[in-house]
Amino acid sequence: MKYAYYPGCSLHSTSREYDMSAKEVSTRLGIELIEAPDWVCCGATPAHVTMHVLSQALPVKSLINAKQTGADTMAVCCAACFSRLKIANYHVLNDPGKKAKINRAVGAEYNGEVAVKHLLEILAKDFGLENLKGKMTAKLDGLKVACYYGCLLVRPRKIMQFDDEENPTIMDAVVETTGAKTVDWPGKVECCGASFSITKTGVVLRLCRDILQLASDAGAECIAVACPLCQSNLDLRQPEVNKKYDKKFDMPVLYFTQILGLAMGIDWKKLGLDKHIVSPLKFLKGKNIIK
Amino acid sequence: MKIGVFVCHCGTNISAVIDVQKVVNDLAKMPGVFAMDYKFMCSDPGQNMIISEIKQKKLDAVIVAACSPCLHELTFRNTLIRGGLNPYMLEIANIREQDSWVHTDRDKATEKAVRLAKMAVAKAKRNQPLFPQEVSVEKSCLVIGGGIAGIQAAIDISSAGYQTVIVEKEPSIGGKMAMFDKTFPTLDCSACILTPKMVQASQSKKVKIYTYSEVEEIGGYVGNFNARIRVKARSVNMEKCTGCGICWQKCPVKVNSEFEQNLGPRKAVYVPFAQAVPNVPVIDCVNCTYYRSKRQNPESKGLCRICEKFCPAGAIEFDQKDKIIEEKFGAVIVATGFSAFDHKVYGEYGAGRYKDVVTALQFERLLNSSGPTQGKILRPSDSKEARTIVFVQCVGSRDESKGVPYCSRVCCMYTAKQALLLKEHIPDANAYVFYIDIRAAGKNYEEFIERVQDEYGVLYLRGRVSKIYRTGDGALLVRGADTLSGTQVEISADMVVLATGLVSNPETVKLGQMIGIPYDKNRFFTESHPKLAPAETQTAGVFICGACQFPKDIPDSVAQAGAAASKVLGLFSQEHLMLEPVLACVNQKICNGCFHCRAVCPYNAIDEEILKDKSVVARVIESKCHGCGNCISACPVSAVDLKGYTNEQILEQLQSLR
Amino acid sequence: MISEMKKFIISKNELKKILAGIVAENIKLIAPVSRDNAFFLEEVSDAEKIAWDYSNVVKPVKEHIFPMREVLLDFGRGTDPPALDEPEARSSGKEKNPAGNMPPVKEQVIFGLRPCDARSLLVLDKPFLQEKYVDSYYKERREKTTLIAMACLNPEKTCLCSSFENGGPFSSAGSDVLCVQTGQDEFLVEILSEKGEKIFKNPSFAQPSGEVLKKLENLKADSEAKICKALKVPENLRELFEAGTWETESLSCIACGICRYLSATCYCFNITDEFEQRLRYWIPCSFKNYTKMTSGEISREKKSARFKHWYFHKFSYHKDNFGEYLCVGCGRCIKYCPVKIDFTEVLGKIGNSKQEQ
Amino acid sequence: MEEKKEKNGFEPRLVGILCRWCSYQGADLAGTSRLKYEPNMTVLRVPCSARMSPLFLMKGLTSDIDGILFSGCHPGDCHYISGNMNARRRFVIFKKLLEFAGMEPERIQMSWCSASEDKKWADIVDSVTIEVKKTGPNNKFK
Amino acid sequence: MKELIDKAKELLKEKKVETVIGYREIRGCVVPAYVDSPCDADCLIFDKRCVYNLANYLKWFKNKNVALVLKGCDAKSINVWLQEFQIKRENIFIIGVECYGVMNEKSADAGLSDKCGHCEAHVPNIYDAVIKHQGDKKESVQGEPFKDIQEFEKLPHDERWDFWKKQFEKCIKCYACREICPMCYCKECIVERNIPQWIMSSPSVKGNFEWNMVRAFHLAGRCVECGECERACPVNIPLMKLNKKLIKEMKELFDYSAGQKEDVKSAIDDFYPEKDIKIDDKMIR
């Protein structure tokens, strides 16, 4: 189980806890993540708006470097990076015209031989849910989690082929291996406002309010996410949402890798649980999941 | 042999691309061929010109180089008859659909036209006069499907005095129309206008109705179809039962009723709806405790049998078996109707997880006074009254990604009607309709829509619904766009009605292959010509009407049913039927009696005959042969030949291309 | 007649050189060629391809004088030239051959045929070149053909050429030149006609020495000794027409066309029109359709009748019309018969059957 | 005729033998929807693909036709129930035989084309024409 | 061959059959024999040289009852005849002979003919009596049956065409291959038809190509590989190469080999539902 690992810029900065928990969980499960040598920015959402070829050349550059690790699959945690790499591979495999342009821009021959997988797919499909359940030492059966997928993971369906784009269930299955209960709620793939968080914060506040409202209506105690941008919008903006719409949301927003880490008995400092705005520590102590 | 070649300009359809004059000159060079051209060969002056040429030049065969034979082969055959020639001395070169319309290069198209005409001449040289074969006509018609279309066709045919048989899959005729509450645009109650028709059909001496039965096999050809119908066991004796209803009152088993679209219960012994014709119940073997216990251990006496005890007429017969009926028919009308689109494929509308997201048919049952809620509009989840209802149009229509690219034509109208009825039931309820385009193209349809919007205040929002989900308080949040005002719209509704489209009946493919009629990629039966023959199919003697040909509303179905009936009556009015003389015939001097031909004949139209010298040879049964030519390719010594398409003719056609 | 008997000795290479000279003069050279271990007389472009060690070719030499398939005349109307084997068949040019509008036939020299085949042409000349009915096609090809025969050093056990008066493995009847391979690389060539003389123009070759002539006699004697089969036709063949033995003898015959086609002297043919041409081609009397009349009636329908007809035409009717048997004893009909019927034995059995009556 | 062909490139002479109920109607539909395709193929109408005896294939190829296409209904849609199935079996056997004897496989083709597949018909004609043009003129029997 | 002779005598004595068709030897080579009376049944023999397929003679004994001495490969022809209603089973008495290979007349060393290389019908699959094999029961070498065909298929198509063109040029249309083949029993062969003229009757390359293609096609699923046609051909055209190609195709595509059972439909008339036809769909667009 050897994968080239593409952390992406946010996992090295604002959402370091996602990187820490992902690495901890993987090493504990025996999944070897070798960081792709001198990977570059994946271009995220702004790149394909400015220059199409650039938005695909950047991920291809990293995919070519990933070949040096000897693994034939690149593991990705961040939803935006996952989407960009997957789309680049799709164009290289299916559109000879674009492939020629990309190869010319990158200056090397790349035919889409490196596959791209999200950590969720690796855990659920390659590693297998049963083995995952076996690895869980502490049962979190008191915890009620709402799994939030966001939009980049599941769409566009033809290219991502990740899960059912209306009602995805892969994260629910992974989280349920820890014994926690996941709630069925309609906000799984609602938009969180993404990068409007900086330019039009009002929009993000309104959208996050809806999501948090739907989650709490469904009886969830915390939200599991797989994308740093969704996490920051829901977590960072939660106090402002409370202020603007005089709500009393106190909903911790955790990465699914952190939840897995807790269930595997990893110390919460190693999982970066102290880096959240809405601190989950009090809540987890209440549930005596952590001391 | 004197051959006349008549090249048509077809206005400019042909002459625009093909140099007709050059074709005429090239053809005239051939020995024994007279060629000329005319602007509209199929027009009356054109045909009269052909007739005069035949008489003047004493032609033996006629070649018409014009449009496709599928269009005007019949017209020109009649022209030959009027000109005194045998109609089968005609050959048609298709230089329009397969030449001028599909090619641009002028001289290549002209060269092809010359080749096609020369090929037709080569075939015509070896044409023999053929005389259609007379065959008796069985004066009775089989109608498959007992919906409004089937019933109307049966009534029209029986009123002309001919025997008709309706075969209906469900326990009662009436089809989907029986489920409706009111009909648009006149709002007269669906049952009130349907029940008299059903009664008229059941009481007519000329109409025999087999309900709860299916057609298993249809063989034969126009005028002489033979069908095998399986009447499934109802476990109730039709003669004895008076329809008093005690049995289904007493029956302890409650099951979801398909007729009520799973909104209301029915018993194991049931009649689908009150005005069912025949008003005789059916025992549902799957759920009836007696039959279930019999299946567990067949020897036991079986449990329950309450209905048998209480039946005053003693009509319950548990050991009733399926009956197979073989009958001969002269014509077949297929009226198998439509089925509603399964909306569960739409994840964004909840994929069937929310009880309060109902289909239009379910809402129709809610509106119906004889429905599960006796006409009160209650939410299926908590049966509270629904005061805000959102109607979503084009669910399973005009949606390429869901494989339903066509518009189902009727949803806009029935949604408007349902919205109107909702406002009549609950005047202060508010109804929203999300639509793309309102299609109201019938008589008084547009006015009906205007009335619904102005008089009843139904709010029409032009845009698609992007998501429906249940909010905490149990209401349904419908999020959509209103493109006219350019804003996003969110409505918290009590109930959402999806205007599901009309798709084809699942058995279309099986039925189509059984009868031998084609169907298109949406699995609707293909009519013989979209504009000129919508009620006929390519197979002679088989007609189609109603939604099985394409989604249509009740007026169109009834009209098409009348059309199909009139075609059948046209068929029955002839004493004998002229059968295509294109049949196989065996040259018994050469036949070795190896019977490869019988082995491949799909209609086993070949049997043995013993000649004087005691050798056994093959013989073609003229009435059974359809003229497909399978036996000719199978015969090693080509002792068989097909009149009209003989081996010699086809070889000559190939040689003419040298 | 040629001036005087010309005999001389020639080596194999010189012989090949002369043959090459013939080809150079744009005369068609036909010589035995080996194909899938069978030998055929075919047009040869270079002398190297000629096969030397063969007993006899499969198809008799009549194939080149009276071809299996010959276009008598062409009445095409200028449509595409129909697909034909001889590309120059269609005469676009002015000169026409005497009979139809086909182009004239090229000069040809046939080398390496056996004496029996050469004699067969003599036999065929009678029916084809009768004064009243001259077959112009046959006549044209016959005149333009020079025959260089090769004497048989070791005849096969199916040969019976010596049972005919001017027959025999060394007979020079019918050929223009007779070669005998006296040594490994030494051929005794004997010129028999002007045509032959035209081929061997400069007689600068050595005259045969006495010792060579003696070797010739021995070879001739050995060769004739090797022939073990003889033809004995019963005199009263005509009365034996009704004999029952014909029935039993014909049982194993499968009525194919081999003995008819490969016989050196059978000459029946059929004429049909195909693809705007009048064709003449061989047809065996063993086929049922040979005697099919327009009414569809077939006179010799039974296999035994067709079997018997072949014998009577060769050994009875032809003798009455032209005074000799229609056979040269090449033995091909015995060698190639799929069910190994030997006509000499059949004739023997028919002859004995007379005693039993 | 001969020189003209060589001058502007080889124009293959093709024959399409179409079954009357499905393929011919598909070809007509291609006409009504004004699709454009190569003009080399001349169409011959027969009642069913079963009527196309493989011997027509042989007679066609021996009379200077460069390519022959049989086209019938899809399996199961045949108007005569099983005509297309028998036609397929005979065609496949005869094609293997002709290929074995050295005939280029592109010269003999079969296709299923139903009454509503006009686009498919246009593509079939174009691709057959290109393939036969690539294999060159049929001068095996010249 | 005493057993064979006794059997023949017994049949003739009891008048069960009118004639027994077998093999006999005259002047050193084996020819078909017709035995009418028990006394001259002694001439019957069976050994390596009996190559003829005697089933072929049923063409002239159609409704007479006859006994036939048949090897394994010849007996398969009877199955095909029954399949095509040409004879009644009760009319013929089959004396099956266990055979371990017959001579190949055309090869110089007179070794076994190559059909016997992969023969799996040492004992006929249809018979009324069986004559055991005397000599050594040398199991015939189980060579790969279609190796030469596969090699020939690999050649480019114009090379294949040249090969066949040269072969067809030799054909003199003597129709020995038709007359010797038991499967060609037609009253009037397709070659003799002139309305329409399917096959040019005159021997030209085109006519010979057409004739050989039609003959081979008519043997698809019917040829029992007895090899008689190749033996009878005076100009040595490898006819069995064409027939073996079709036998290979019928086996591969439709898993059908000729002459196994007499009550089954012959493969050329039959078709299976989609799933088990191995037709390479590249062949049909």
Residue pair A66/A114 in contact by the 8 Å Cβ criterion: yes
Confidence grade of residue C183 (pLDDT, cut at 50, 70, 90):
confident
Supply the DSSP string of B178-239, one letter for each residue: GG-SB-TTT--BHHHHHHHHHHHHHH-TTEEEE-SEEEEEEEEETTEEEEEEEE---SB-TT
The confidence score (pLDDT) of residue A274 equals 87
E62 touches chain D (CB under 8 A): no
Which of helix, strand or coil describes residue D37? Answer: coil
Stretch C188-214: mean pLDDT, rounded? 81
Residues E107 and E208 in one domain: no
Over residues B11-19, mean pLDDT: 91
- How far apart are alpha carbons B187 and B420 in whole angstroms? 10
Q: What residues does C178 pair with on adjacent strands?
A: C149, C190
| pLDDT recorded at residue C89 | 42
CA distances from E198 to E190, E203, E209, E236 (A): 7, 14, 12, 25
Residues in D touching B106 (Cβ below 8 Å): none
Q: Are residues E270 and E174 in the same domain?
A: yes
Domain enclosing residue A110, as ranges:
2-118
The answer, yes or no, to whether residue C99 has pLDDT greater than 60, is no
pLDDT (tens digit per residue) in D7-30: 457 889 999 999 998 899 999 999
Give the residue ranges of chain A where pLDDT is below 50. none
Q: How far apart are CA E218 and CA E216, in angstroms?
A: 5
Distance of alpha carbon B338 from alpha carbon B548, whole angstroms: 6
Q: What is the DSSP letter of B546?
A: G
Confidence of residue C236 (pLDDT cuts 50, 70, 90): confident
Stretches where chain D sits below pLDDT 70 are: 1-8
- Give A 180-199 residues with CB within 8 A of chain B: 186-187, 190
Predicted model pTM? 0.69
What pLDDT sits at residue B422?
93
User: Hey, which bits of B533-586 come out as E strands?
Assistant: 542-544, 576-579, 584-586
pLDDT of residue E278: 59
The pLDDT of B67-89, averaged and rounded, is 92
| Residue E137, in any domain of the structure | no
Most distant CA pair in chain B: distance in Å? 94
Q: Report whether pLDDT(B160) > 60.
A: yes
- CA dist B401 and B217 (Å) reads 36
Structure tokens at E222: 């019917």
pLDDT at C90: 43
Contact B216, B228 (CB under 8 A): yes
For the domain B584-642, what is the CATH code? 3.30.70.20
Burial of E129 (0-12, 13-18, 19+ CB in 10 A): middle
Provide the sign of the torsion angle of the four alpha carbons A26, A28, A29, A35, taken in this order: positive
CA distances from A240 to A204, A249, A273, E71 (A): 10, 10, 21, 99
Q: What value does the mean pLDDT take over residues C31-54? A: 88
CA distance C179 to C183: 12
CA-based nearest residue in chain B for residue A217: B472
Q: Is residue B194 over pLDDT 60?
A: yes
E241 dihedral zone (left: phi>0; alpha: psi -120 to 50; beta) = alpha
Kindly tell me if the per-residue pLDDT of C214 is higher than 50. yes
Q: How high is the pLDDT of residue C101?
A: 65
Domain that holds residue E22: 2-131
Which residue from B68, B111, B92, B146 is spatially nearest to B336, judged by alpha carbons?
B146
Alpha carbon distance C188, A23 (integer Å): 104
Retrieve residue B337's tokens: 């109707």
Amino acid identity for residue B52 in this structure: S
Chain B stretch 290-349, residues whose beta carbon is closer than 8 A to a beta carbon of chain A: 347-348
Domain B140-232+322-337+505-573 has CATH 3.90.1150.10: no
- How close is the nearest chain B Cα to the Cα of E63, in Å? 10
Q: What is the model's pLDDT at position C106?
A: 87
Residue ranges in chain E whose pLDDT is less than 50: 275-276
Residue B371 has pLDDT above 60, yes or no: yes
Specify the pairing of strand B430-435 against strand B90-94. Answer: unpaired
Is pLDDT of C83 > 70? no
Residue type at position C284: P
Show which of residues 55-114 on chain D sit within 8 Å of chain B, judged by CB atoms: 55-56, 59-60, 63-65, 73, 76-77, 79-83, 86-87, 90, 114
Residue finishing a domain among A98, A118, A138? A118
Using a pLDDT cut of 90, give the percent of chain B over it.
Answer: 66
Q: Could you tell me the fold of the domain covering B340-503?
A: FAD/NAD(P)-binding domain (3.50.50)
Does some domain include residue A123?
no
Q: Which residues of C touch B651 (CB under 8 A)?
A: none
Where does a domain end: A93, A118, A143?
A118
How many domains does chain E divide into?
Answer: 2
pLDDT confidence of residue D3: 42
A251-280 burial code (b ≥16 CB/10 A, e <16):
bbbbbbbbbbbbbbebebeebbbeebebeb
Residue B330 has pLDDT above 60, yes or no: yes
- Buried b vs exposed e over A85-117: b needs ≥16 C-beta within 10 Å? bbbbbbbbeeeeebbebbbebbeeebebebebb
Q: Which of residues 465-484 of B touch A (CB under 8 A)?
A: 467, 469-472, 477
State mean pLDDT over C275-282: 84
pLDDT tens-digit map of B267-322: 999 999 988 988 899 999 899 888 888 888 888 888 888 888 889 988 988 889 99
Q: Where are the domains of chain B?
A: 3-125, 140-232+322-337+505-573, 246-310, 340-503, 584-642
A-B CB pairs within 8 A amount to 20
Q: Which helix (H) or strand (E) holds E30?
A: strand E29-35
d(CA A9, CA A11): 6
Contact B472 A214 (CB under 8 A): yes
Give me the mean pLDDT over the C117-146 stretch: 90
What does E153-177 look like in DSSP terms, one character per residue?
Answer: HHS-HHHHHHHHHHHHHH-----HH
How far is the C-alpha of E258 from the C-alpha of E222, rounded, in Å?
Answer: 5
CA distances from C356 to B321, B601, C236, C316, D108 (A): 82, 57, 14, 22, 64
pLDDT of residue C2: 45
Asked whether residue A259 falls in the same domain as residue A146, the answer is yes
What burial class does residue B360 get, using C-beta atoms within 10 Å of its C-beta: 0-12 exposed, 13-18 middle, 19+ buried? buried
The answer to whether the bond into E196 is cis (omega within 30° of 0) is yes
CATH code for the domain in which residue A247 is found: 3.40.50.11810
- Overall average pLDDT of the B149-169 stretch: 95
Judged against a pLDDT cut of 80, whether residue C276 lies above it is answered with no
- Please give the Cα distance from C171 to C152 (Å, whole number): 9
The confidence band for C210, taking pLDDT boundaries of 50, 70 and 90, is: confident
A175 shares its domain with A69 = no
Amino acid present at A286: G
Same domain, E18 and E91: yes
Reduced to 3 states (helix: H, G, I; strand: E, B; else coil), residue C37 is: coil
pLDDT at E109: 74
* Inter-residue contact B283 to B268 (CB < 8 Å): yes
Q: What is the pLDDT of residue E140?
A: 59
Q: Is the pLDDT of residue C93 over 60?
A: no
pLDDT band per the 50, 70, 90 thresholds, residue B394: very high
Report helix angle B69-82 to D23-32, nearest 10.
100
pLDDT at position E281: 66
Q: For B87-105, write each residue's pLDDT tens digit.
A: 999 999 999 999 999 999 9
pLDDT digits (tens, 9 = 90+) for C300-331: 989 999 999 999 999 999 999 998 999 999 99
Question: Chain E 170-189, CB below 8 Å of chain C: which residues?
Answer: 170, 172-176, 178-180, 188
Q: Structurally, how many domains does chain A consist of?
A: 2
pLDDT tens track for B484-497: 999 999 999 999 99
Q: Is residue A65 part of a domain?
A: yes
Q: Would an 8 Å CB–CB cutoff place E264 in contact with chain B?
A: no
Does residue B425 register a pLDDT over 60?
A: yes
As a whole-number percent, the residues of chain C with pLDDT over 90 amount to 32
How large is the average pLDDT for residues B417-445? 93
**Same domain for E245 and E278?**
yes
Q: Which residue has the tokens 């009880």?
A: B355
Say which amino acid occupies B551.
P
pLDDT recorded at residue B602: 83
For residue B190, the model assigns a pLDDT of: 92
Please report whether residue E139 resides in a domain: no
The token pair at A94 is: 């299916």
pLDDT band at C98 (very low <50, low <70, confident <90, very high): very low
Terminal C-alpha separation, chain D: 15
Q: Do the Cβ atoms of C345 and C234 come closer than 8 Å?
A: no
Give me the sign of the Cα torsion angle A59, A63, A68, A71: positive
Would you call D90 and B630 a contact, using CB atoms and an 8 Å cutoff?
A: no
What are the distances in angstroms from CA B139 to CA B153, B227, B558, B572, C278?
15, 14, 23, 6, 59
Mutation target to probe the B interface, by most B beta carbons within 10 A, among D4, D48, D89 is D48
C-alpha distance from residue D84 to each of D27, D43, D128, E35 (Å): 18, 18, 20, 50
Neighbours of D100 (CB within 10 A): 23
E strand segments, E118-259: 129-131
The answer to the question of residue A25 being in a domain is yes
- Cα-Cα-Cα-Cα torsion C266, C272, C273, C275, nearest 10 degrees, comes to -60
Measure the CA–CA gap between C174 and C147, rounded to whole angstroms: 8
Give yes or no for D64 touching E (CB within 8 A). no
On the question of a common fold for B140-232+322-337+505-573 and B340-503, the answer reads yes
8 Å CB contact of B97 and D27: yes
Tell which CATH architecture fits domain B3-125: 3-Layer(aba) Sandwich (3.40)
Q: Write out the H or E segment, with its range, that includes residue A27.
A: helix A16-29
ipTM here:
0.71
CB E130 within 8 A of CB E123: yes
